[in-house]
Amino acid sequence: MKTVACIVQPGFAPFEFGVACEAFGLDRSDDGVPNFDFRVITPDPGAVPSKVGFSINVEHDLAFAYEADLVVVSPTPREWWGRPDERVLDVVRDAAERGAWVMSVCSGSFILAASGVLDGRRATTHWMYAPTMAAMYPQIDVDPDVLYVQDGRIITSAGTAAGLDACLHLLRQELGAELTNRIARRMVVAPQRDGGQAQFIDKPLPVAASLSLAPVTDWMLDNLREELTVDQLAAKAHMSPRTFARRFKADFGATPAAWLARQRIIHAQRLLETTDLGLDRIADESGFGSAAVLRQNFARILGLTPTAYRARFACAHDADDQRMLAPVA
């Protein structure tokens, strides 16, 4: 990979745009890292306004993207999602067809989706936008619980800092682990974060949830330690099991079992953050029964172990226990 084109459009997000500039646009030759021919491009060169009240002057049109080894699409505002610029879509399609790398950061994934290159593929975006993408593009397997997804040579990333994870993931494939670690060190970030955006999301009951199911879900939350079956829950909702399961999935976007597992994980997270309870006790309190089952569900849903989660997110019980991060040497 030698050439990188980063597409910006009016209303772009400065931080996420800066992620691409930081990862691919800086001269790091003094660290032994090869430079890329990095160019910022836009459909209509000139002043391109950001979403926060300032503009950047972009000199290059989209022509460079047709020969670039990597095309990065910066986040775009909602008004572009339903009426994307066809010139940008053509660039994305061309890159995918000729086997170049294609990457989106955060909501830039909506441009990739509109181009059709994500059809039949797995992808991600910011967790806040994932339901919208899934509804707009049902042919895409939208995963809201990961930092990034690579499907072939197309990479989509979640919000904000997850763009850095995606960039480092790509650099690791192109430059190898050693050089990528040097880049990450200069950025003062982890070379490879574990887990996914799921671990940073608290998922309360949807506002639009059916009022008729609210007593049942409240009861489920109060009885997480119990073994709850669909038949039992359906009886409390005065529905047949089949009707209850269908209604629950429609209102909550998940099966009763999947929703219950998520709520148990959230309860376990809170216990790990705020108590010194052992894993067996936390597993029992949250309804998993054993530490082994708790670990299995943590790995499946959050992508890391309960011990790793506690090490990262546990709240200090005394202000004297607070520590500043050690300075990087």
Nearest to 197 by CA among 144, 266, 239, 132: 144
Instruction: Specify the amino acid at residue 47.
Output: A
* More confident call, 303 vs 142: 142
Q: Where are the alpha helices (DSSP H) in 193-290?
A: 214-222, 230-236, 241-252, 256-274, 279-286
CA dihedral of 24, 129, 246, 203, whole degrees rounded to 10: 90
pLDDT for 100 beyond 60: yes
The pLDDT of residue 210 is 53
Beta strands in the chain, from DSSP E residues, in sequence order = 3-7, 37-41, 46-49, 55-58, 70-73, 101-104, 122-123, 141-142, 148-151, 154-157
Locate the domains of the chain by residue range.
3-197, 202-313
Q: What is the mean pLDDT of residues 139-159?
A: 93
pLDDT-derived band at 149, boundaries 50, 70, 90: very high
Token pair, residue 168, equals 């480092």
pLDDT for 300 beyond 90: no
Nearest to 203 by CA among 273, 267, 284: 267
Which range is most confident: 113-122, 174-183, 245-254? 113-122
pTM: 0.67
The b/e string for 77-95 (b: 16+ C-beta within 10 A; e otherwise) is eeebbeebbeebbebbebb
The pLDDT of residue 250 is 79
CA 129/CA 13 separation, integer angstroms = 15
Percent of the chain with pLDDT over 70: 88
pLDDT for 205 beyond 80: no
Question: What strands lie across the sheet with 101-104, from one edge to the other?
Answer: 37-41, 3-7, 70-73, 101-104, 154-157, 148-151
Contact call for residues 118 and 274 (beta carbons, < 8 A): no
The answer to which of 48-52, 114-118, 298-302 has the lowest mean pLDDT is 298-302
245 φψ region: left (φ > 0), alpha (ψ -120 to 50), beta (else): alpha
pLDDT-derived band at 203, boundaries 50, 70, 90: low
The pLDDT of residue 324 is 31
Residue 124 CB: number of other CB atoms within 10 A?
Answer: 30
Give CATH for domain 3-197.
Answer: 3.40.50.880
Contact call for residues 236 and 220 (beta carbons, < 8 A): no
pLDDT for 222 beyond 80: yes
pLDDT tens for each residue of 70-95 = 999 999 899 889 899 999 999 999 99
The pLDDT of residue 254 is 78
C-alpha separations of 329 from 184, 186, 191, 312 in Å? 14, 11, 16, 21
The pLDDT of residue 84 is 94
Mean pLDDT estimate for the chain: 87
Q: Which residues have CB under 8 Å from 264's CB, separation 6+?
A: 224, 286, 287, 288, 297
The pLDDT of residue 191 is 64
Partner residues linked to 123 by β-bridges:
142
Strands 3-7 and 70-73: what pairing?
parallel
pLDDT for 285 beyond 50: yes
DSSP secondary structure string for all residues of 180-220: HHHHHHHHTS-SS--S-GGGG------TT--TTTHHHHHHH
CATH 3.20.20.70 fits 202-313, yes or no: no
CA 83/CA 208 separation, integer angstroms = 27
